[in-house]
Amino acid sequence: MAQLHRFLVSSHEQATTGVFLLRLSGCLAALPGQFVMVSVLPDSIPLSLRERPGEGFKPAAASAGCDPLLRRPLSVHDCRPGELDLLYRVAGRGTALLAGKKPGDTVDVLGPLGREFPLPAGRQAVLAGGGIGVAPLFYLAKSLLAAGREVTCLLGAKEQAGLYREQELAALGAEVRVATDDGSAGLRGPVTGLLREALSRNRGPVYACGPEPMLQATAALCREAGRECFVSLEARMACGVGACLGCVVPVRRAGRDETARTCVEGPVFSAEEVYGCATRPDSENRPSGT
Amino acid sequence: MAVQPDLTVKIGRLELKNPVMPASGCFGYGEEYARFYDLGRLGAIVVKGTTAQARPGNPAPRVAETPAGLLNAIGLQNPGVEEARLKIRRLAGYGAPVIVNVAGHDTAEYCAVVEALSAETAAAAFEINVSCPNVATGGLSFGTDPQTVARLVGELRKLTAKTLIIKLTPNVTDITEIARAAESAGADALSLINTLLGMAIDTGSRRPLLANVTGGLSGPAVKPVALRLVWQVAGCVGLPVIGMGGICCAGDAVEFLLAGACAVAVGTANFSNPQVCPEIIGGLAAYCREHGFSSVRELVGLARRQEP
């Protein structure tokens, strides 16, 4: 059940330029693939009036906590008893504000939200992450490895500095392959360049998260190979709980074109639902949470 | 031990245990928020704009954040009145009166929805959305002309004895003309404001942020405009007014009551704080206690009395 939590920042480090690992202390029962909506407001600004019976009326706070107005959706990067990790890229005003949080500050967290990655039936799985798309895959890899599955992780980025969590994933026991656009690490080219070969060795389903062109290419390769594929999508969201209908994505289900709410029917979708759809918007319509 | 202030208010034939309700479009059919608190604590629940047939809504992106505000162009996505009926019945089980927001592309569609639900006991009242800015026909185009509003309200009045609330758009030159037209045609109450037409452009892609190009602006950014319009409308009609527009806390709600609203609706604030409605209910009670009001009704229009 999704709940509102107030978590303490235990550490907050810049993993690489513009990418932060935010470690929160607090209990959240999240599954791999789920996300949270976080308030990016600094601690000096109360999120809301916090008016509850007995607490009295606080008119001074009336206009505080209004800007940025919305929470930011961030995928669960790791979740341990009493600890929650979020890995995010500063992409706009909201995430830039969040980056200012210091150890000892608090973060208002709504979650866990959304659907998790369906677990593979067999012993193997292929995980493909483009850039910050590794964020939800790390927790999935960790869970699968802990359950004794064989995990192949394909990580892609523009350049070596954009590859996150490569060593950690290898240390956990995943087979890690990397690709960079400029060839500064691993294969030169998109991460999907690693996929065909990986599919020949690893018989498991593919779990992908990353930029829209990468997801499309991954879905196409999987379809060609007859391999099951799940994608984790990003969308502009307002409520995160399914009420506002702001984050819909066109999907094809049972031969019918319809829309699905990314927040409650996703963010994990079967690639067939999303990319088997005729009315797919172009990639500029799928920005990340800023 | 302080006496608990009386929070009850009346809107037409509706008796509400407190004056706070979630605004249409920001609360779906209630099911998403039932996990956060007992929905029976709400004064009323206003559901998503409901049309005769199911509507798929607009293409994405449908939402864009702006300074202290939110632009949306959802496009009245809803499952149609018959599926909505089932959701409304479930929602009525929580105990708060359910107000059905009604939309349509022409008079016949508004009438069809009201007629379909006029005998539905789970529907306590109708809020007629003549102010949606995000659909090509109906919606806003109905709400900007006093004669059209009067004709529509007249037709609906013949179809139902339930409380008819007309939701007004701020996108007009003189809202008082529309308010008076609705009153004279038999409306029981008015609610305002719906969203203000706006837009935002992505400087990176050099394209509008919303697929629909324009959308409706809500959130704290619109509150001063909404408050002024509530003040104007409450001063020109005898009908109860439900005030809304950017309400985020009890202080905002008190302002709308002081301007002349009998009740308030809370919209966009639900998105950032799912518990905002019960927090505001608690805050209103605290305000009454601390300022010596035995009933929240004593606040209604109080700011007007100091007018010179």
pLDDT tens for residues B140-165? 778 899 999 999 999 999 999 999 99
Query: Which residue of chain B is at minimal alpha-carbon distance from A71?
Result: B272
Taking the Cβ of residue B128 and every Cβ of chain A, the question of whether any pair is shorter than 8 Å is answered with no
Q: How far is A25 from chain B (nearest CA, A)?
A: 21
d(CA B217, CA B166): 19
B-interface mutation test, from A5, A239, A249, A257, most B Cβ less than 10 A away: A239
CB contact under 8 A, A246 and B69: no
CB contact under 8 A, B272 and A70: yes
- B260: pLDDT strictly greater than 80: yes
Catalytic residue among B26, B111, B132, B248: B132
d(CA A123, CA A145): 10
Do residues B301 and B259 make contact, with C-beta atoms less than 8 angstroms apart? yes
Taking the Cβ of residue B57 and every Cβ of chain A, the question of whether any pair is shorter than 8 Å is answered with yes
- List CB contacts (< 8 A) between A49 and chain B: 248-251, 279, 283
pLDDT digits (tens, 9 = 90+) for B8-21: 999 999 999 999 99
B132 an active-site residue?
Answer: yes
d(CA A29, CA A114): 13
Q: How far is A144 from chain B (nearest CA, A)?
A: 30
Residue of B60, B250, B271 lying closest to A51 (CB–CB): B250
pLDDT digits (tens, 9 = 90+) for A19-54: 999 999 999 999 999 999 999 988 765 545 443 444
pLDDT digits (tens, 9 = 90+) for A136-193: 999 999 999 999 999 999 999 999 999 999 999 999 999 999 999 999 999 999 999 9
B-interface mutation test, from A66, A241, A282, most B Cβ less than 10 A away: A66
CB contacts < 8 Å between A and B, how many? 160
Taking the Cβ of residue B132 and every Cβ of chain A, the question of whether any pair is shorter than 8 Å is answered with no
Taking the Cβ of residue B80 and every Cβ of chain A, the question of whether any pair is shorter than 8 Å is answered with no
What is the band of B211 on the pLDDT scale with cuts at 50, 70, 90?
very high
d(CA A136, CA A111): 15
- B236: pLDDT strictly greater than 90: yes
Do residues B74 and B211 make contact, with C-beta atoms less than 8 angstroms apart? no
- List CB contacts (< 8 A) between A256 and chain B: none
Q: pLDDT at position A63, please?
A: 46
Query: Which residue of chain B is at minimal alpha-carbon distance from A245?
Result: B74
Q: What is the token pair recorded at A9?
A: 């920042």
Query: Which residue of chain B is at minimal alpha-carbon distance from A92?
Result: B65
pLDDT digits (tens, 9 = 90+) for A115-141: 999 999 999 999 999 999 999 999 999
B-interface mutation test, from A36, A41, A69, A252, most B Cβ less than 10 A away: A69
Reported pTM: 0.92
Query: ipTM, 2 decimals?
Result: 0.93
- A1: pLDDT strictly greater than 60: no
Please give, one letter per residue, the 3-state secondary structure of chain B: CCCCCECCEEECCEEECCCEEECCCCCCCCCCCCCCCCHHHCCCEECCCECCCCECCCCCCCEEEECCEEEECCCCCECCHHHHHHHHHHHHCCCCCEEEEECCCCHHHHHHHHHHHCCCCCCCEEEEECCCCCCCCCCHHHHCCHHHHHHHHHHHHHHCCCEEEEECCCCCCCHHHHHHHHHHCCCCEEEECCCEEECCEECCCCEECCCCCCEEEECHHHHHHHHHHHHHHHCCCCCCEEEECCCCCHHHHHHHHHHCCCEEEECCHHHHCCCHHHHHHHHHHHHHHHHCCCEHHHHCCHHHHHCC
Residue of A39, A243, A247 lying closest to B26 (CB–CB): A243
Q: pLDDT at position A44, please?
A: 66
Q: pLDDT at position A167, please?
A: 94
Strand order in the sheet with A229-232: A187-188, A175-180, A150-157, A124-130, A206-209, A229-232, A268-270
CB contact under 8 A, B286 and A57: yes
Query: Which residue of chain B is at minimal alpha-carbon distance from A69?
Result: B68
